[in-house]
Structure 1
């Protein structure tokens, strides 16, 4: 039900204790909209761009002081502001708003007519976001609170039934709930499959929405997510213990990812471009441009799930090969082992190729990508440029230790991120695992978690890791996303060991140092060989005061790196 499909209730007595000042409330609402509604570059499970499809402040009656959606948005906005300003007063106001929103939402749930409204579900989803970003003394408590909200939201979705699919906002909220359920089940140390009510609702959904509705890839992937989580639960509970059996399930689900990609590729194409000169924000000079940032984020979400699947395949084959005293490339699953590593490398390249667009650095010259294009356009070769300086990277041992588990000890010794350990390598420290989960899931930037997955991958090289850390550091410096800096620290502490085709480490290697800069880096500016380069795509420099001050101090205003296709284009004079 939309807000205009029924009458707006008068504020119940439970909300009359709401005493947040109008100015404070306005600040909270403004911050919420600036971070979670109006900004396209927001990760899927934090994006509430559809809020006005559900909630319209102009429809609110004059005698209403506050509603659950308003109080929820205020709470989330104020807790975010409190984190930025370190204001204790704002934090107290945030918790007041949260308490009011909780009381109003519970009051609505007591009335069947109010419980099934879109506004009630929206309030529940926003309150779940509050639990993620509010700073509890224990991250375990944060995860538990998030799980409690997920359980309540699933029960509410079941209560809402198929009627929730009659509105665009209802479908989007169901899609968002599925995303959060996936995250919640993955972080659990206990066997936790996809809740059956969500699968039942998916099967009752009209097929056009089910396949290519407003939730896009998320809704189409729901059965695949169910199989993914069910396999994880079966391994954790000991239902599946035999490696051959586990691998058979893993191969089947991976084939499902292949089919899903083939189903959506004609509708969500991306174009591949190559730089003519080195730029620190573009790995190996290649970037992919999607139709929208939303498409980019959804594809990366599926890629991260598939990375966990492929890493698990690699670990299982390695374990099986050790038992047979064979190398993985000469054992019974040699082809599958090689194929998994190849696919992993392709996924890493695809994620890194999406980073420039997600950071707002590239745009097609006509401002759009043709949706009718079914294949990537051809790209030109990159001309050789001076390499950045190299230096041995500073490393320290990974803090993760061995863990106790009812599973086969050989299986849990795998140092990769797998479907069993999707956030940290196997560890006994539940608080540390919860802390890292909250760190990743609370990041609003859609590049933080994908880059973390890339940096932790078993096929991540020293060069790629340096690129990942450089992008995260610069994201933090230029936008203030603190999770990016924290993740960069974690990756620097994690050993990167380049492996040969058999999966054995070759030891540490020299790693390239990439200069930071979401926009222009000083390394290419000092080459003095940039004048004659053609352009097709602009490299859009985000305005940043500290960066431009550095340029003024260095006095190195030059033309920037450019992108080309077919040798056509022009240099954008507004690069810096």
Structure 2
């Protein structure tokens, strides 16, 4: 397939007349003015790529024919000669070689290889990914194609240190936004899987390439846009495997965004989540191994709404705040115990690489889905015990003190100990996620120039995990958003030591530079500013 440049989007009549076509959905106005029926518009994907195999084959055969007709006549070999004369019937047939891929084809290939998780795109699109894929037979919309090229080009730009390719990626991103907005304006296009996936990938691009604080808002805007699409798509989206996977991915990002900003989770999306769970339980006769995951998401919704109520002073009584935090923490601990035993991680102790391995140990998880689940639960508990600690300290310093019972002193110590333990577990999960495990195995050898997302997870395990592949994130690298947030939470804690905070800053910067998730660099700046502020306060 050969990229043919940006094709004209006008109708057939306007293209023949070589006039501007306004491409109205019901027929262009030029045809309407001429009182003729508009013939409609051709598929952009059909003309964007052209199959050149036949033309190249004819060209090679023609060149071979010219070579044969102009070659000198062969002389007869002597009996003592080891050479023989080729006859026409034994002539060598020229090898037909496909043309090399252009930069856009390389970009889509890079995207599907490094960002897609067990999914492929239709039999006629030429874009496939994953040995074990969902049966998703669909066309790639123009907006989706530009989104894929934008993310792929940005990855190739980092790989080859090519700023021109990065500029091209931003150009593709701008066009992707335009086409996505155009799709969102159509009642039919807005409901397509490709449109929702486009919005998800736009968020991935922003988290990968955004280098300013405003890029965090841009990422949140894409998440909010995806949330609006979930409401528009309704319950029908949870009837397909790919629909459920995208729903899971978008709502996961929504939960992070709501908890970060202390805003309530949208009720209409919460209702869809409940409907999705009910449908799953109906299929599995209430023996669903995903029960702990469903419960985790329900608890995250409760946490988001609780924090929003505290932020808006709808809940202000300190005793009530502490009691609710302990209640939610007890629920999450119970849910953690409900996960199967074989999803546990393995702790590795080492004295090597103290700059990467904090305090001499790190953990190995069976797959990238489980490390996200464990860190989600840890983040959940960090927020709760942080709220408990802050509320107790304010209550102890009040005049008169709000808390005088010894149980509150014990709770303060318990919360502080828990925060340190959770902090250590989050930090121990990082080396595997940034590719350290494979580097450790190849010690003494040259490490790869670029760490791809989730390099160190055994993909062959995924289909047989108790949680299954159906609920894996459809865009694998989006898990780095959770990794960034987890590290930011650790670095932003009041109890964090200078050593740990410096380590967090280094890891966030490494995620930004080596893994190409530049939101890590932005969050590193936040943590560095907090460190500098604390240093000034100590002087």
* 98, 102, 108: which one aligns with 1:29: 108
Tell me: CA distance 1:54–1:170, structure 2 relative to 1, closer, same or farther (3 Å): farther
- Structure 2 residue 191 is matched with structure 1 residue 120: no
Q: Hey, what does 1:157 align to over in structure 2?
A: 230
CA drift at 1:183: 2.9
Q: Hey, what does 2:66 align to over in structure 1?
A: none
Tell me: CA distance 1:466–1:100, structure 2 relative to 1, closer, same or farther (3 Å): closer
Q: Hey, what does 1:57 align to over in structure 2?
A: 125
Secondary structure at the aligned position of 2:496 is classed as coil
CA drift at 1:73: 1.6
- Structure 2 residue 241 is matched with structure 1 residue 168: yes
Tell me the alpha carbon deviations over residues 202-242 of structure 1, each in whole angstroms, 9 at most, x when there is no partner: 22224584799798865432211211111122122221122
* 81, 95, 106: which one aligns with 2:174: 95
Q: Hey, what does 2:338 align to over in structure 1?
A: 263
2:105 and 2:345 map into 1 onto residues whose CA distance is 39
Q: Hey, what does 1:233 align to over in structure 2?
A: 308
Give the gaps of 5 or more residues in structure 1: 1-9, 38-48, 375-440, 499-504, 510-576
8 Å Cα contact 2:150/2:169 also seen in 1: no
Q: Which has the higher helix share?
A: 2
* 480, 483, 488: which one aligns with 1:452: 488
Q: Hey, what does 1:513 align to over in structure 2?
A: none
* 266, 272, 275: which one aligns with 2:350: 275
Secondary structure at the aligned position of 1:333 is classed as helix
- Listed as ranges, the matches of 1:244-393 within 5 Å are 244-264=319-339, 266-275=341-350, 279-324=354-399, 333-362=408-437
TM, length-normalised to structure 1: 0.58
8 Å Cα contact 1:11/1:66 also seen in 2: no
Q: Hey, what does 1:467 align to over in structure 2?
A: 503
Tell me: CA distance 1:50–1:119, structure 2 relative to 1, closer, same or farther (3 Å): farther
Secondary structure at the aligned position of 1:272 is classed as strand
1:237 and 1:331 map into 2 onto residues whose CA distance is 30
| RMSD across aligned positions (CA) | 4.6
Q: Hey, what does 1:200 align to over in structure 2?
A: 271
8 Å Cα contact 1:150/1:181 also seen in 2: yes
* Range with greater deviation from structure 2 (122-131 or 170-179): 122-131
Q: Hey, what does 1:182 align to over in structure 2?
A: 255
8 Å Cα contact 1:79/1:94 also seen in 2: no
8 Å Cα contact 1:185/1:194 also seen in 2: yes
Tell me: CA distance 1:158–1:475, structure 2 relative to 1, closer, same or farther (3 Å): closer
2:40 and 2:127 map into 1 onto residues whose CA distance is 14
Tell me the alpha carbon deviations over residues 134-192 of structure 1, each in whole angstroms, 9 at most, x when there is no partner: 659x855x55554554444334323433332333222211111111212332344xx63
1:275 and 1:143 map into 2 onto residues whose CA distance is 36
Tell me: CA distance 1:238–1:294, structure 2 relative to 1, closer, same or farther (3 Å): same
1:170 and 1:448 map into 2 onto residues whose CA distance is 26
TM, length-normalised to structure 2: 0.62
Tell me: CA distance 1:198–1:453, structure 2 relative to 1, closer, same or farther (3 Å): same
Secondary structure at the aligned position of 2:341 is classed as coil
* Range with greater deviation from structure 2 (150-159 or 442-451): 442-451
CA drift at 1:454: 1.8
Q: Hey, what does 1:106 align to over in structure 2?
A: 184
